């Protein structure tokens, strides 16, 4: 999923200790920029807008 948190690197179910070895972190905690050049880049101008004739939702 591309999450940058260490919680995605632990076993499931979690073990009783933190990590078998200390993980090496090579990025900032909230670095969400693209790290892989092969990932697709979405152009904000090409993203579709809201459907026409849509008013507030009713329940």
Domain limits, the chain: 1-36
Instruction: For residues 11-17, give the mean pLDDT.
Output: 75
d(CA 11, CA 20): 10
Map tokens 């790290």 to a residue: 35
- What length is written for the chain? 59
- 32, 5 contact by CB (below 8 A): no
d(CA 45, CA 41): 12
The model's confidence at residue 38, banded by pLDDT at 50, 70 and 90, is very low
Q: Say whether pLDDT at 22 is over 50.
A: yes
Q: What is the pTM of this model?
A: 0.25
pLDDT at 17: 75
């Amino acid at each position: 999923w591309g999450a940058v948190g260490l919680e995605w690197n632990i076993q499931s179910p979690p073990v009783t200790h933190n990590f078998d070895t200390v993980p090496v972190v090579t990025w900032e905690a909230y670095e969400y920029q693209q790290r892989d050049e092969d990932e697709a880049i979405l152009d904000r101008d090409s993203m579709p807008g809201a459907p026409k004739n849509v008013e507030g939702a009713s329940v």
